Amino acid sequence: MLRIIGETLDAFFELPIPMHPALLPDLTAGLDRSLQLYVSKAKSGCGSRSSFMPELPPLTRCEVGSKLLFKKKEKPQNPQHRGPQNGATNGTDPLGLPQLCVRLNTLQYIRSELENLEKKIKTCLRNVESAQADITNGLEFKFELCQAACQEGIQHLCETTAYKVTFFDLGHILWDTLYIGDIASSRVDLLLRELDPILETISGTVHIKVRNRAITALMKATFDGFLLVILAGGPLRAFTRQDSQIIEGDFRSLRDLFLADGDGLPEELVDKASSQVKNVLPLLRTESEGLIERFKRLIADSDQSRTASRGKLPMPTTTGHWSPNDANTVLRVLCYRHEEAATRFLKKTYGLPKKL
C-alpha cells in the first residue's frame, strides 16, 4: 500500500504541468483517505473489549455448612466462551494472538512511515519548483486522518487482543478452575503459567514502540478477570475471611508477573492498573457484620434509597466500577462470603437463592 502511494507521488511530480502546488492538497487528501480506509480494514472484524467480556451470573448466596460444596461432576454455570485449553490458537485463525500482533505492527509501521511520506512530498515539490523560493512555505501535507486512525486502531487492537486472550483463550482457567472448591488447591498458578508464553509472544512479535501498550492492556484485562472471579464467579465459589490471605498472595503474584523483577512494566504503571483490585481486596477480610453495615450505609447515601419501598433496601445497580464505596461491590462480597451472618442477611433482605 505504501509502495503504491510512493509510486503515485512519483508519477504525479513527473507530470509536465505547472500546477503541482495547486493540485497537491487534493491528491494528499485522497491518499490520506485511502490510508485511513486501509487502517480501518486492518482492525476490522477483530471484535472489541465488550464482545469478549462475559455476562455476569445472577446473584446467589453461599450454602453455609460443609466447605466441600462442590462435586467433581459439577461444572460452572456461567455461560462463558471457552478458549483453547492451552491458551494457544490455530495458526490459521485470523484472530490468533500472532495474527493480532502482526496487525498491531502493520498500524505502527504505517504510522512511522507517514512522516517519511510528508518529507518526500516536500522534497519532490521543491525539485519541480526549484526556480521559486521555498514553495513549501505555508503548505501543509499532513496525513491527519490516517494518523488519527492509526492511533485509535492501535489502542483498539491492544485492548481487543488483551480481552480476547484473557476472557476467551484463558476463559477455561478463570471460570472453570480459579478458586473453585478448595481455595488453596485452585490458586492463580495455572493462570500465571499460561500467561507466561503469551507475554513472550507479545514481547517477541510486537514492535517495541507499541509493545508496552499491548502488555499494559493485557495486564489490565487480567486484573479485570481476577476481580470478576472474586465478585461474579458464580455459585461454585465461596470465600471465608481467612481465604483473603491466599487471594491477596495471588494478587501479588499477578503483579510480580508484569513487573518481571524490574525487566517488565514500570512499577507505577502496574500500581495504577492494579489499584481497583487493591482497593477491593480489603473487603474480603472485613467481618460480615461490618460489610452489612457498610452496605446499608452506602444504600442510604445513594439516590436509590429515596425511590425504594418503605422499610426495604433497594437492589443496587451493577455499574462494573468495582469499589469499596460501591454498594453493588460490597453486596457481591457478601454473596460469596461463606458465613452464616452473610447468607442470612441476603436471604432476609433479597431472598437470594443458593443456586442458579
Q: What is the DSSP string of 242-283?
A: THHHHHHHHHHHHHHHHHGGGTSS-HHHHHHHTHHHHHHGGG
Domain identity same for 16 and 106: yes
Does one domain contain both 239 and 326? no
Q: Which of 331, 312, 315, 311 shows the shortest CA–CA distance to 323?
A: 331
Specify if 39 maps to a domain: yes
Q: Please indicate, yes or no, whether residues 223 and 335 belong to a single structural domain of this protein.
A: no
∠ Cα 232 235 236 (to 5°)? 105
Cβ(85)–Cβ(172) below 8 Å: yes
pTM for the whole thing? Answer: 0.87
144-190 residue pLDDT tens: 999 999 999 999 999 999 999 999 999 999 999 999 988 999 999 99
What's the grid cell of residue 308? 425504594
C-alpha cell at 48: 472489541
350 in a structural domain: yes
**pLDDT computed for residue 85 by the predictor:** 37
> In this structure, are 264 and 293 located in the same domain?
no
Instruction: Give me the number of domains the chain comprises.
Output: 2
**Residue 159 and residue 136: Cα distance in Å, rounded?**
39
Identity of the residue numbered 88: A
pLDDT at 142: 83
Residues 244 and 300 in one domain: no
CA 72 to the chain's CA centroid = 32
295 belongs to a structural domain: yes
Q: Are 5 and 35 within 8 A, CB to CB?
A: yes
Tell me, yes or no, whether 208 and 122 share the same domain: yes
Cα–Cα distance measured from residue 61 to residue 352, given in angstroms and rounded to the nearest whole number:
6
Per-residue buried b or exposed e for 68-87, using 16+ beta carbons within 10 Å of the residue's own CB: ebbeeeeebebebeebbeeb
Are 41 and 130 contained in the same domain?
yes
Of 255, 285, 315, the domain-final residue: 285
> Could you list the residue range(s) of the whole structural domain that residue 337 is in?
286-355
Q: Is residue 47 in some structural domain?
A: yes
User: Does the residue 62 lie in any domain?
Assistant: no
- The answer to the question of residue 74 being in a domain is no
* Alpha carbon distance 237, 175 (integer Å): 10
Same domain, 294 and 224: no
In 3D, which of 175, 176, 159 has the Cα closest to residue 221?
159
Q: Are residues 238 and 114 in the same domain?
A: yes
Q: How far apart are CA 156 and CA 154, in angstroms?
A: 5
Regarding whether 290 and 279 lie in a shared domain, the answer is no
Look at residue 107 and give its three-state secondary structure. Answer: helix
Residue 257 in domain: yes
Same-domain pairing of 128 and 146: yes
For residues 175 and 191, membership in a common domain is answered with yes
pLDDT tens digits, the chain, 356 residues: what are they? 899 999 999 999 999 888 888 899 999 999 999 999 999 999 888 888 889 999 999 999 998 765 444 443 344 444 444 444 333 444 467 789 999 999 999 999 999 999 899 989 988 888 876 545 455 555 667 899 999 999 999 999 999 999 999 999 999 999 999 999 889 999 999 999 999 999 999 999 999 999 999 999 999 999 999 999 999 999 999 999 999 999 999 999 999 999 998 889 999 999 999 999 999 999 999 999 999 999 999 999 886 655 555 567 899 999 889 999 999 999 999 999 999 999 999 999 999 998 87
| C-alpha cell read off for 310 | 418503605
Last residue of a domain, one of 234, 256, 285: 285
Please tell me the number of Cα atoms within 13 Å of 315 on its side-chain side. Answer: 12
Residue pair 177/186 in contact (Cβ under 8 Å)? The answer is yes
pLDDT at 127: 83
127 domain residue, yes or no:
yes
Choose one of 225, 250, 285: the last residue of a domain. 285
